[in-house]
Amino acid sequence: MQHIEVEKKYAVPDVEALKARLRKLGGTQGEPTHQVDAYFNAPHRDFLAPEAISEWLRVRTDEHGSSINYKRWLPVDAIDKTHADEFESVVDDVEAIRRLLQMLDFLPLVTVDKTREVWTLPTVEVAVVVDQVLHAGDFVQFEFKGEADTVEDATARLDEFIAGLDVGLGDQVDRGYPQMLLGREH
Give the burial string for 20-45 (b: 16+ CB within 10 Å, else e): eebeebebeeeeeeebebbbbbbeee
> Hey, what domains does the chain have and what are their CATH numbers?
4-182 (2.40.320.10)
Confidence (pLDDT) at 155: 94
pLDDT computed for residue 1 by the predictor: 59
pLDDT tens-digit readout, 148-182: 999 999 999 999 999 999 999 999 999 999 999 99
pLDDT tens digits for range 135-146: 999 999 999 999
In this predicted structure, the answer to whether residue 3 has a pLDDT above a threshold of 80 is no
Helix or strand (DSSP H, E) at 133: strand 126-133
Q: What is the pTM of this model?
A: 0.90
Q: Is the pLDDT of residue 133 over 80?
A: yes
User: Tell me: the pLDDT tens digits for 81-121?
Assistant: 989 999 999 999 999 999 999 999 999 999 999 999 999 99
| 9, 138, 145 from 158: Cα distances, Å | 11, 20, 9
Determine what percent of the chain is predicted with pLDDT higher than 70: 99
